[in-house]
Structure 1
Amino acid sequence: MHITNIQPSCPLLFASEPMRSIMDYYAAHVLPVDRLPKGDSHTVIVFPGLGASGSATAMLRTRLRQLNYDVHDWEHGINQLPNGDLDAWITRLSMQLQRLAARDGHAVTLVGWSLGGLYARALLQRYPACVRQIITLGIPYAELHNVGAAPASAEGIDDDAVAAVPAFSIYSKSDGVVAWQGCVPTGLHNHHAIAVDGVSHMGLVYHPEVLSIIAGLLASSATGAVGARATRQS
């Protein structure tokens, strides 16, 4: 069970990440939020990427709140690789998920960027009844089929329940950190890949096209139409 063996992207794309991410950040201000579909006020948890905290996803969370969602940071500060037992770490992360799901009496959407997306998938695998859908940004599928499924907890996983929860992988062929090929799920029921053009890895939490896709997926989940506008692989 490894979460650090992520296939690297092109060195030139990696070198240009800082400049391109700045451009993606400023591009985020181009799309007026009032043009996006409004939500049904359901709860969303946003997980930051490796080495980032909630400040890196603050703009995304603000925009989603403006679209009428109850949006929460993941509550664990800077996202670092867990020290020690990964299964125990996923259990710690699940406390917020289970609390919010119990509070509302409804499942919660998980949005995870980079390493945060791996955690979102692990939570889906462990607690599918608490998860409405997951949306991951720039993270490979090949590395996380078993994260959160340590031997002590594997027997409790309900494969049918996991398969019933829609999962979306938003990726960019211009990602300078993660090779996009690994972000496309193959042979997984109810898992969809959605490509965006010209977006940096860091910019996935800012870019207006990504925000538009996330807004559409969140709104579609309220009508039962989730998955109808995905899969878009290119």
Structure 2
Amino acid sequence: MTVQAQLQPGNAPFGVRAELARRFALAREAVETEAPRPSVRRMLGEFDVIAEPMRRPFRRLEIVEAANKQTVMLLPGFATHPVRMRYLARQLETAGHTAKRWGMGFNLGVRPDTMDRLERRLLDLRRRSGRPVVLLGWSLGGIFARELAKRHPAAVGKVITMGSPFSGDPRANNVWRIYQFIAGHSVDAPPIEAELSLKPPVETVALWSPRDGVVSPRSACGQAHERDRAIALRCTHIGFSYSPEAVHAVLRELDRS
């Protein structure tokens, strides 16, 4: 077959077809026991995000100036871009904090170089700010935040996770099959060494919600020895990035840093 023929629709190179087949197999992986995960009703509740742009112009959040201003590195959730956390970042900056992106665009799962790149970003922010950085991670971003704090505790002032599945079965959520297809690896075998449930050696706070339609609330809350504190909110999983309750919870935690 000529190169030109390979590039025609339906004639993808063998390597590409083989990789797609491998990823589809990951997405269809059979499991002996289904892990507990949010119900379909809770999952449908995540569509609340559709109405958020219409509500936002009428919302007036009372943001008080922070007494203890922090530099905050925001780590987005799986399959999201930092722009999804822009509203939250603006509220933090209104309070006087400095909000910084993680510098890696879309979060498409763990890659072999993910932690190396995040370490460089964290250490650069630590150097420029002159003080430890608070890591604010949403969903998978919170997993990265916890691992970063384990590697560089002196550079981290606090870890705040929002709906992050750091505890229990890594399949206790409604997106693990999608994750395996996009990331290209099993949730049991990421391309980095990590013990997700091990608490970082810095103050670690878990924000979780019983209304979460993506991640099992138990996975996001964790057990007592896996975090320092857990705070229950009443928002959806996507709502961690915009709900007034979540915004104020994060601001209170920053003031406690």
What TM-score, normalized to structure 2? 0.70
Look up the match of 1:16: 45
In structure 1, how many angstroms separate the alpha carbons of the residues matched to 2:154 and 2:191?
A: 15
Of 179, 183, 188, the match for 2:225: 188
Please tell me the root mean square deviation across aligned C-alpha atoms, in Å.
Answer: 2.9
Give the Cα separation in 2 of the matches to 1:92 and 1:191.
27
Aligned partners of 1:97 and 1:108 also within 8 Å: yes
Q: How many residues align?
A: 203
Distance 2:233 2:35 in 1: 20
Whole-Å Cα distance in 2 between the matches of residues 67 and 196 of structure 1?
Answer: 21
Percentage identity across paired residues of the two chains: 26
Q: 1:206–1:12: structure 2 CA closer, same or farther, 3 Å change rule?
A: same
Tell me, yes or no, if structure 1 residue 214 matches structure 2 residue 246: no
Counterpart contact for 1:38–1:68, Cα < 8 Å: yes
Please list every run of 5 or more consecutive structure 1 residues that lacks an aligned counterpart in the other structure.
Answer: 222-234
Partner of 2:101: 73
Q: Which amino acid aligns with 1:30?
A: R
1:64-92 per-position Cα deviation (integer Å, ceiling 9, x unaligned): 01111111011111110134x2xx32111
Q: Does 1:116 align with 2:141?
A: yes
Unmatched tracts of structure 2, length 5 or more: 1-26, 28-33, 171-186
Relative contact order (alpha carbons < 8 A, sep ≥ 6): 1 or 2 greater? 1
| Match of residue 55 from structure 1 | 83
Match of 2:73 among 31, 36, 45: 45
Q: Is 1:6–1:140's contact at 8 Å kept on the other side of the alignment? A: no
**Considering only CA atoms, is the larger Rg found in Structure 1 or Structure 2?**
2
Compared with structure 1, are the counterparts of its residues 7 and 50 closer, same or farther at alpha carbon in structure 2 (3 Å cutoff)?
farther
Q: Does 1:175 align with 2:212?
A: yes
TM-score (norm 1): 0.76
